[in-house]
Amino acid sequence: MAQWLYRIVPARADMVDDATDDEAAVVGAHFRYLVELRDRGVLILAGRTQGEGPDTVGITVFEADDEPAARAIMNADPAVAAGVFAATLHRYAVAVARDGLDMTAPPATD
């Protein structure tokens, strides 16, 4: 199975700092979608930069059989489908990973 990455950026520059109620609801659905992908064994990792403002980006690294399947996974992301995030798809290969990565740790704060 091939590995893929989709990069997301907010479609509206102020969305991270000042999301509307509708945008916040779609981002919640986006998070639930990622958890579902993880639970199905598709997701390798997902996260976003911790800065605020228009430079914020997110990545989702996952497995899919081929490009059409990978594109379908990306396009099924509720935030991509709703246009809250713009997404680009890239073929990817994890080269080095550490065992036992603790995904329950809170994100670092500045």
Give the CATH number of the domain where residue 32 resides: 3.30.70.1060
Residue 71 lies in a domain: yes
pLDDT at residue number 16 = 83
- The verdict on residue 6 lying in a domain is yes
Q: How far apart are CA 94 and CA 17, in angstroms?
A: 31
Instruction: Specify the length of the chain in residues.
Output: 110
Asked if the structure places residue 22 within a domain, the reply is: yes
Any domain includes 53 = yes
Query: Is there a domain that residue 109 lies in?
Result: no
72 in a structural domain: yes
- What is the domain extent for residue 49? 2-92
3-state secondary structure of 86: strand
More confident of the two residues 31 and 18: 31
Domains in the chain: how many in total?
A: 1
Q: According to the model, what pLDDT value does residue 71 have? A: 98
The model's pLDDT over 55-99, given as tens digits with 9 standing for 90+, comes to 889 999 999 999 999 999 999 999 999 999 999 999 999 988 888
- Higher per-residue pLDDT: 102 or 86: 86
Residue 110 lies in a domain: no
Q: What is the pTM of this model?
A: 0.87
Contact 6, 59 (CB under 8 A): yes
Q: Can you tell me the mean pLDDT for 21-28?
A: 95
pLDDT of 51 reads: 79
Question: Does residue 80 form part of some domain?
Answer: yes
